[in-house]
Structure 1
């Protein structure tokens, strides 16, 4: 007998429902309630510090893998919500247990999953577990909003221009309560002011990055500022003063503001919470309606008026940017595969329309964004004509495809297999032939009986009618056989033509490639090539 025990807890604890205590109680239950458990082999799976919101837990996944290899008679856990707090995941798990004939035991709820009522109670408990998880998440958000009202810094990477200061407060019972808040770091704050001022003047992230590089200003890690890094700084509310202009802007976005308009003033800065989410282990941006904007205990660096101006410019550039996104979706084939030798991905960019106004296909080049951002100070590799490079790479990979796949040999083998195929009748044809044979035998028997008859007219007429029916059935069966033979011959010819057409297509793969859409060509190139690298003079290709 094989028994699996699963235990889970979101946070480590040696008390209460710790994973060790869960396992101990499951062991005691197995010994007392499962017959033959003394000889059973028990597998224990523990996930410490993992949430039940999904099934992405290492030991849980290992248990499911072992369940496929070994047949567990029982799956035992302390409570249903230890398996998960998502009703969809629980439903899939129960279905899996049913298919494997594994009995599920929750030692606290005491479910019997072999009965309809037990399954119903199990699903109902799953709904309650999911509701509890969502309520916990809601309480966390509400608690974050309450903490935000105090202007605390709740952790994370300290933004440029600030340091973290710890505050201590003695409570009535004598306990010391600690909290953190931001404090301006003057030298970095001057850099932040320069970034905002430069962007308000140039309206270009690349231009600002180049200007900072010329001035010798780098990030805390000693790297050159990138366009994305500058965008993160320019959109961070922490630099904005909590004045009326800022309040009206964030209120218009639908953010959750932790202050009234009357409380707004330029003496404090803002702090933004909940701008990103890590759901399913993906760091994704949230909608503004999910943001929490609160006044902090620090001073703002940028006025609300200038901050709002910057946001509007960024939003406008996002809508009118003629850069690489459009060309990637329409023309370029190597975007995502082509790298500069400095390590950055090269991006396609159109030439100016006047340069090729008479051309059928608009020209573009692949450029290194790091070269443009650093104004050729840290990367000097020149752009490469995109149309020419795409054509040459495609021609080279097509030649490699011809060499790799011996199309002529494969085609010849397929045709020979058709020629060697035996003419084995299908079951219906065999049935008709058997019917004809039996009818012929019946006719012979009737003729033999007729010869030995005494010449009675009634008997002769009856035999002749029966022979006529049998002859008609034979003729009908022969027609069906001829029809099926003709269809089979026609199908064989059709298959032969299809293979010839396929062969011609494969032998002229260049024509097939030319007929592909841009997306299909990109997929083909991604399958054949792993990486392409341009060093300014030569292109190096790594094939898969």
Structure 2
């Protein structure tokens, strides 16, 4: 019996046309008519997923099954159901060929069992990608034309505005609706305040400190950071555009469209694009020469002189900003948090030590620094002492390696979990196969009997829903299996790093940093005044239940005696 996989995909649900169900039935009919009835079908469906990439859950399951040589043939309704990207399709075809699985596209009548079929498929996939890229380019050009007319094209609503739908009549006389930004007076007064405060203080850092000192938060109850403040202060959507503003933007590599009227603001476009990096789509900045700005239909609020003064202050600060080199390879950055407010702690510069002549560094609470102690007043931790303390704890951990690993293994319980998952998967696959067989039988009856159509369709729909739930459970079990495998890999890594901990004080700082990043989950610092305090170290794969022990600098040499827990250590 031939084993045939049918793959169907649609970008969005419509319930008509080339629907998922129609694609599947046409594929079944084609195989039955050309090969015969001695065929076992397995269906893979992805609805609501684009053909621009292969990041689709059921497609991934299909390819894993093909790698395990479970199918003789893969059938789809049309070539672009697999992919609209030539490189993706080429890779898929290579996997099929290396696993002796033929590919049939019924719409284009392509069959990879012949050399001519394989050649034609490559040619067709080129045209599929060309079609996709042409559509994308057309959409982009259309958006840019809209942009040149200064229309709001959607996105995150800037502070100071509300979005309202307005009606207009298009060139064909039809009534259309589009979003329009309307000034929010209360928020816009705050924006105006930020512009004036920035000029008063003279720098973005001082403005951020002021914001944190006064606990000023956004509409989402988040403290404003430098990045969000900079976006507000440099956005021409707030300015009443005039000739001086347009001239400044032109001199700053912007292409500006429209005539300024000292009433309406400017909208900016084409600043970023999506690109694929390491298998993921990320947003990157475009070349400055490609940026667009256009006089919009949105009323401005900030006077041109004030907006330009802020931009010139930014330019002045950029020219005078010191370029500081790396002065301290901090071991605990990214792992150490303030015990009081739970924010991350940053490395900060101190004075030159009179005894050693070395420059001192401290770990400082980021919230304390930004708010000038108004929102947090946790004391600083001397970097050298704190890092030494963490290294001692890791060295002690290596002496208790067996107990530590044993506790983590008990927590993961990998052997039993694998057996239980395998049994559950076996049961679900059996149930899924039975229900799909029932669906096939009902579809056959449906083609022969018209008088009980409603009853059969209801039953098919219920069975299909049950199949979907089973497949969802199988996907969850696959995720659990992957997690267990990752846990095993992590255990191997932890064991090798614990061996290195025995001589961690003799390793270079890059190796010490690697060990800290992989063995420690979080470190909390609690200050009890100058020169004393306590830390809480949570190691990976452990529970948060330990006693905290106070320490002073003089007691550091005695810390080896105070380890009362192997999985969670507090010093």
- Same fold judged by TM-score > 0.5? yes
Within 5 Å, give how 1:381-400 maps onto structure 2: 381-400=378-397
Q: Which residue of 1 aligns with 2:510?
A: 519
Local SS of the residue matching 2:257: coil
How many angstroms apart in 2 are the aligned matches of 1:19 and 1:538?
61
Equivalent position of 2:524 in the other structure: 533
**Structure 1 position 127, deviation (Å):** 2.1
Query: Contact 2:213–2:375 (CA<8 Å) still a contact in 1?
Result: no
Match of 2:96 in 1: 97
Range that drifts further, 125-134 or 166-175 = 166-175
Cα distance in 1, alignment partners of residues 121 and 357 from structure 2: 65
- Structure 2: which 5+ runs fail to align? 404-497, 528-532, 541-571
Q: Is the 8 A contact 1:74 1:103 kept in 2?
A: yes
> Could you tell me how far apart the structure 1 residues matched to 2:217 and 2:525 are?
26
User: What do the CA deviations read for 1:36-92 (whole angstroms, capped 9, x no partner)?
Assistant: 3x3422222222222222111112112112323451111111222211122221111
1:237–1:116 distance in 2 versus 1, CA, 3 Å: farther
Partners in 2 of 1:218 and 1:211 — Cα distance? 12
What RMSD in Å do the two structures reach over aligned CA positions?
A: 3.0
**Contact 1:148–1:258 (CA<8 Å) still a contact in 2?**
no
Query: Separation in 2 of the partners of 1:155 and 1:357?
Result: 59
Question: 1:180 maps to what in 2?
Answer: 179
The aligned runs of 1:181-220 (5 Å cut-off) are 181-215=180-214, 217-220=216-219
**Take 1:521 and 1:289, find their aligned partners in 2: how far apart are those partners?**
44
2:309 pairs, out of 296, 306, 316, with 306
**Cα 1:172–1:232, aligned 2, differ >3 Å: closer, same or farther?**
closer
Distance in 1 (CA, whole Å) between partners of 2:289 and 2:516 is 41
Could you tell me which residue of structure 2 aligns to residue 334 of structure 1?
Answer: 332
Q: Structure 2: how far apart are the matches of 1:508 and 1:292? A: 55
Provide, for residues 107-147 of structure 1, a one-character-per-residue CA deviation record: whole Å limited to 9, x for no partner.
12222323333323222222222222222221121111122
Offset, 1:377? 2.3
Aligned residues: 433
1:340 and 1:533 in contact (8 A); partners too: yes
Give the number of the structure whose alpha-carbon radius of gyration is greater.
Answer: 1
Distance in structure 2 (CA, Å) of the matches to 1:314 and 1:272: 23
What CA distance in whole angstroms lies between the structure 1 residues aligned with 2:67 and 2:358? 55
Partner of 1:45: 44
Q: Which string of whole-angstrom CA distances, capped at 9 and with x for unpartnered residues, describes residues 334-373 of structure 1?
A: 1111122323221112225xx3498565322122222222
Kept after mapping to 2: 8 A contact 1:276/1:283 = no
Post-superposition CA distance 1:371-426 (Å, at most 9, x none) = 222232222222212222112111221221233169xxxxxxxxxxxxxxxxxxxx
TM-score, normalisation: structure 1: 0.72
Does 1:29 find its partner at 2:30? yes
> Is contact 2:275–2:284 with CA below 8 Å preserved after alignment?
no
**Contact 2:398–2:502, Cα closer than 8 Å, also in 1:** no
For the 8 Å contact 2:234–2:311, the answer to whether it is kept is no
Q: Cα distance 1:250–1:90, how it changes in 2: closer, same or farther (>3 A)? A: farther
- From the two aligned structures, give the one with the greater helix fraction: 1
Are the equivalent residues in 1 in contact too, given 2:213–2:370 (CA < 8 A)?
no
Post-superposition shift, 1:333? 0.7
Alignment match of 1:371 (pick from 358, 368, 376): 368
- Tell me, in whole angstroms, the C-alpha distance in 2 between the residues paired with 1:289 and 1:307: 22
Q: Which consecutive residues of structure 1, in runs of 5 or more, have no partner in the other structure? A: 407-505
**Paired residue for 1:503?**
none
Q: Relative to 1, partners in 2 of residues 1:377 and 1:39: Cα closer, same or farther, differing over 3 Å?
A: farther
Q: What's the offset of the Cα at 1:252? A: 4.6
Q: In structure 2, do the counterparts of structure 1 residues 290 and 116 end up closer, same or farther at CA, with 3 Å as the change threshold?
A: farther
Describe the SS at the equivalent of 2:293. strand
Give the structure 2 partner of residue 259 of structure 1.
257
* Structure with more of its chain in strand, by fraction: 2
Match of 2:293 in 1: 293
User: Which digits, 9 at most, give the CA deviation of each residue in 1:155-199, with x for residues without a partner?
Assistant: 222111111132111357663211122121121112112222222
**1:542 offset after TM fit, Å?**
1.0
TM-score (norm 2): 0.69
- In the alignment, the residues of structure 1 paired with residue 158 and residue 260 of structure 2 have an alpha-carbon distance, to the nearest angstrom, of 22
From the superposition, tell whether residues 248 and 213 of structure 1 become closer, same or farther in structure 2 (CA, over 3 Å).
Answer: same
Partner of 1:431: none
Aligned to 2:545: none
Query: How far apart are residue 24 of structure 1 and its match?
Result: 2.8
2:264 is matched with 268
2:251, 2:71 → 1: CA distance? 57
